[in-house]
Amino acid sequence: MGKPTGFLEFSRELPTKRPVQERLHDYKEFIEKYTPHKLNQQAARCMDCGVPFCHSGCPLGNVIPEFNDAVYRQSWKEAYDILNSTNNFPEFTGRICPAPCESACVLGINQPAITIEEIEKHIIEIAFEKGFVKPVKPNVRTGKKVAIVGSGPAGLAAAAQLNSAGHSVTVFERDDAPGGLLRYGIPDFKLEKWVIDRRIALMEEEGIVFTSNSEVGVDVSVNDLLRQFHAILLTGGSTIPRDLLVPGRELKGIHFAMDFLKQQNKRVSGRWDKSSDPILATDKNVVVIGGGDTGSDCVGTSNRQGAKSVTQFELLPKPPENRTQMMPWPTYPMVLKISSSHEEGVERQWAVATKEFLGDGNGNLRALRIIELEWKMGEGSRAHFSEIAGSEKEIPCERALLAMGFLHPEHTGLIGDLAVELDDRGNVRASEKSYQTNIQKIFTAGDMRRGQSLVVWAISEGRECARKVDEFLMGYSLLETRDDNLIAI
Amino acid sequence: MLQADGQMKTARDIAIATLLGAEEWGIATAALIVEGCIMMRKCHMNTCPVGVATQDPELRKRFTGNADHVVNFFRLITQELREIMAELGFRTVSEMVGQVDYLETRDDITHWKYKNVDLGPVLYKEPTSMYTGLYNMETQDHGLDNILDWKLLEAAKPALEQGEHVKAEFPIRNTDRTTGTLLSNEISKKFKALGLPNDTLHFKFTGTAGQSFGAFNARGITLELEGDANDYFGKGLSGARLIAYPPKESIFVPEENIIIGNTSFYGATEGEAYIRGKAGERFCVRNSGAKVVVEGVGDHGCEYMTGGLAVVLGGTGRNFAAGMSGGIAYVYDVKGQFDANCNKEMVDLEVLTDEDLVVLRGMLTNHYEYTKSNVARFVLDDLENQARNFVKVFPRDYRKALELNKSKVAVKK
């Protein structure tokens, strides 16, 4: 809680950022740390609500008022213990989470919310500094073997939990290093990769085995998995991107955002194979099609690569600046977000659709033909759009990055071979209650089950699924769960 | 009239309460929430972030409530209640009260805690007869027309109208409750908080007083009781003087016997009292200004006291001064047992200062004058010596407040 009158005395302050001009020259994180004084002040703002809405805002059920109070009292080990009881990877969420906890913060009703995410980040970094973060080795091994396919946040969380329950976990990652989108998706300037390496090293010390460059369905056969492991977790993510199939799509210079971002991450970590085709924004007019977080990452990366210009298009109309009746507190507000990447330079346009990719005669992309849209509310509160006649424009562009969201996981390979059932959206079917697929020993969690979502949700899914797997293997489980249903009326 | 409340939020809650027998319904939390309460549970800290549970102007700025919303809320509840009544076939609420046979227990409860609960006794319908109905059909006769206070009021006329001194005597029994309260109401109607000059009215009673003897009595009244009294003696005392002593012909030792009941001087704000004998439990609970002398108390003496003065000329029970945040007590602790009996969470035990002795002497002098107490005589005659046997109970918060006051006064000078 901190100070009872803290919220009246101190206003919300985020740590300073390196100036735009400076940070465009490298791929390092640019958010500074709080001074101890500021950290204490920000933690003091927490009101320790009788009904803490932040708990339910957070997909992990983080026990926020308690760790805020511990930070205020400078009881660092206590803060770490509280945070660690619900979150396996606060160092990830503390950097990149959109903080639905802050959207649900009660103070947010009439004042800026508590800076929960920054406090979370400081708790874990201080914990690492002071050596509180130690590998958790189980006392007894159960002799059960679990295979986890996909080493993104869902797979990692499940691995950590299952290992702590005593099972022997092997994580299969098809890329050259574990981390999933954390490593090859999120740019370095949002999340530097030594943070992931630090955690993976801890997990390896705890006894978890990571095998990289092992794609299940290609390098490892599913039958081997089925035979050698008592349970299998599918946490391969939702990787099939949405495409824009308009005339000119085959022109050179149009790429999926993920290919672009992943390549840059590999370049930064020195793992990029120079022989493959580079996708660079340098000296090009870049258009990012898609106004979400992936698009924003493309903007930041393009600027760092020295793009000539960066434009971002979004299909939907410009979101409101503040909450509306449709998104009241404590829901997550779909309001206009100006990310750090936007601060670095971009021209944004809303309610536009790309009609055609125009070539230069040699098979290269030269421009986009766009048209403006008018959005109306239809019956049943479903919005629909119509094109505004005569608003067509040609936008010069040599590099188009498609960041329009992800549809569902890849169906060939792993999923095809296992023949697990899919739901209507193309994700692996499993209920939120059991995380179990139609094949008894196969479970799924994270984006692969719920479709594209947030890292914090992936971690939550990994934890909950781990508990279900533990129950499946042992008949009961002592692993934590977010909704402890002692009173089920 | 049965009033029910407790988390009533919708007309269904009210309908169920009515069917179970309620005719008045209390809705508190739901109405607060309509005005913006978010159940922070920090009301007691005076930091309500939505400006509801506070008078602090800074916090009040955040208040977003609207009286019209509250009115609308209740209108909607009554509207919904009408709909439910129509569904059930009732035309008036009176028809609905107590009709428990319109309630059905759920038969799909599987939770182990609730499965075996038998609601039979709750849903029992009392058979009605010609003489009793299920709902409030007649006003209750409280017998107020015949109480002793009317006689007091009659006798007090010269004082109320011309300010003359009045003295009168009455017998009293334990069915005579809240003696002097009705009279005090008349005084305060005419003279407001000031009341009458001290001792304008002097009534003497002989017998056993009922509950709440001298309750809320105003300044100007002196009630003298020869006999004993029930609980709530001097409740809410507002300036009057109360005196109590055992009958002159009694042969028991007064300072070893209880002559007034429990929770005496509950929330008293002003006035004096002199009790020749012991009091029961919770003596002077929540006293905020009355000055009282007594010769022994039971458990939890001076509980939650916030002001005033208590002089205890004898033993106390356990847990004395629990929650005492103000006022002072002087305890005559000849046996040296008081320390063990006192709850020292909020108070310090000290020796009497010279100022204390002056105050004590004054109180004891009064006590002897009004009750001829042997104890008072003994201590007064030997006060220099006996002072050593007194313990001053001084709440820490009170000490702080007094010092703050002193420094403010000093600054003013």
Contact A110 B49 (CB under 8 A): yes
Contacts of A111 in chain B (CB under 8 A): 49
* B252 and B334 housed in the same domain: yes
Identify whether B140 is part of a domain: no
pTM for the complete prediction?
0.78
- Does B210 share its domain with B325? yes
d(C-alpha B360, C-alpha B352), whole Å:
9
Yes or no: say if B43 and B57 are a contact pair by the CB < 8 Å rule: no
Give the pairing of strands A254-256 and A209-211. unpaired
Are B257 and B181 in the same domain? yes
Residues B181 and B114 occupy one common structural domain: no
Among the listed residues A382, A345, A387, A346, the one whose alpha carbon sits nearest the alpha carbon of residue A370: A387
DSSP A183-212: TTTS-TTTS-HHHHHHHHHHHHHTT-EEE-
Q: What is the predicted pLDDT for the residue at A86? A: 93
Same domain, B239 and B342: yes
Residues B321, B202 within the same domain: yes
Per-residue model confidence (pLDDT) at position A485: 42
CB pairs under 8 A between A and B: 43
Q: How far apart are the first and last CA of chain B?
A: 58
Please tell me whether residues B165 and B246 are part of one structural domain: yes
Query: In this structure, is residue B379 part of a structural domain?
Result: yes
Q: How many domains does chain B have?
A: 2
Task: Count the Cβ atoms, other than its own, within 10 Å of residue A58.
Answer: 26
Q: Any idea what the CATH number is for the domain that residue B176 is in?
A: 2.160.20.60
Q: Which of B32, B47, B110 to mutate to test the interface with A (most CBs of A within 10 A)?
A: B47
Q: Which residues of A touch B33 (CB under 8 A)?
A: none
CA distances from A154 to A179, A422, A464, B204 (A): 10, 19, 10, 85
Determine the structural domain holding residue B294 and report its residue range: 148-412
Same structural domain, B218 and B334: yes
Question: Would you say residue B131 lies in a domain?
Answer: no
Mark the ranges of chain B whose per-residue pLDDT is less than 50.
Answer: none
> What pLDDT sits at residue A273?
84
Find, in chain A, the residue whose alpha carbon is nearest to that of B51. A110
- Tell me how far CA of residue A368 lies from CA of A140, A248, A251, B394, in angstroms: 61, 9, 11, 85
Pick from B68, B89, B123: which residue ends a domain?
Answer: B123
In a domain, B134, yes or no: no
Judge if B252 and B374 occupy the same domain.
yes
Instruction: Determine, yes or no, domain membership for B132.
Output: no
Terminal CA-CA length for chain A: 32
Smallest CA–CA separation between A436 and chain B, in Å? 26
Contact between residue A206 and residue A165 where contact means Cβ atoms under 8 Å apart: no
B325 shares its domain with B177: yes
Residue contact B42–A49, C-beta within 8 A: yes
Last residue of a domain, one of B88, B123, B158: B123
Domain boundary among B72, B89, B123: B123
Q: Per-residue confidence of chain A (489 residues) as pLDDT tens digits?
A: 678 899 999 999 999 999 999 999 999 999 999 999 999 999 999 999 988 999 989 999 999 999 999 999 999 999 999 999 999 999 999 999 999 999 999 999 989 999 999 999 999 999 999 999 999 899 999 999 999 999 999 999 999 999 999 999 999 999 999 999 999 999 999 999 999 999 999 999 999 999 999 999 999 999 999 999 999 999 999 999 999 999 999 999 999 999 999 999 999 999 888 878 899 999 999 999 999 999 999 999 999 999 999 999 999 999 999 999 889 998 999 999 999 999 999 999 999 999 999 999 999 999 999 999 998 877 766 788 889 988 999 999 999 999 999 999 999 989 999 999 999 999 999 998 899 999 999 999 999 999 999 999 999 999 999 999 999 999 999 998 887 643 333
Q: Residues of B with CB below 8 A from A2's CB?
A: none
Which residues in chain A have Cβ-Cβ distances shorter than 8 Å to B32?
none
**Residue that the structure tokens 């006329």 belong to:** B157
Instruction: State how far residue A466 is from chain B, nearest Cα, in angstroms.
Output: 27
pLDDT for A484 equals 65
List of chain B residues whose C-beta atoms are within 8 Å of the C-beta of residue A49: 38, 40-42
The answer to whether the CB of A157 falls within 8 A of the CB of A89 is yes
DSSP state of A273: -
Residues B236 and B380 in one domain: yes
Task: Tell me, yes or no, whether B108 and B170 share the same domain.
Answer: no
